[in-house]
Amino acid sequence: MRIILTTLIIFLTSCQKAGDLEISQGGFLSSKELSEEVIVLNIWADWCPPCIKEMPYFNKLDEHPEITVLGFHFDQFDLLDELELLDLIEKLGMEFANLKTDPRDVWGIEIPGHVPTIMIIKDNEVVKTMITPQTYESLLEAVDI
């Protein structure tokens, strides 16, 4: 019995560490596995009217099989606590994953000067940054897949 329990603990621990990106809504993603997809990083804020208006566009974009949308609330850099964030995610109907892991640690980006800021990431490299409000159509055009 002890061997089975030890094996199970090792297995579960290794599964959890398989992903290096922690998601606010729970779970992990692997940046290595995501490198085969186009990542759209949406740095947003609840006090930003264009950010709120864009949420349905990002939800729809995330349904595309070759695109992964990841959010990160601007105030997560220094002010927002986890429970507040989860309430905002639910309130705004965010269906895509919101990063708990700081994107600066993953892609070496700087804190943006304002929101919305949207980064297109291919092969784990930022290839485009947009700092104006977007539509679903302009987001599709920006990912260029």
DSSP characters over 35-82: TTSEEEEEEE-TT-HHHHHHHHHHHHHTTSTTEEEEEEEGGGGTT--H
Answer yes or no: is pLDDT of 84 > 80.
yes
Domains, the chain, ordered by start: 20-143 (3.40.30.10)
Residue 123 neighbours by CB distance under 10 Å: 11
pLDDT of residue 145: 67
Instruction: Tell me the whole-structure pTM to 2 decimals.
Output: 0.84
> Are the beta carbons of 109 and 77 closer than 8 angstroms?
no
Answer yes or no: is pLDDT of 98 > 90.
yes
| Percent of the chain predicted with pLDDT > 90 | 74
Answer yes or no: is pLDDT of 10 > 50.
no
pLDDT of residue 3: 47
Please report, in angstroms and rounded to a whole number, the separation of the first and last CA atoms in the chain. 51
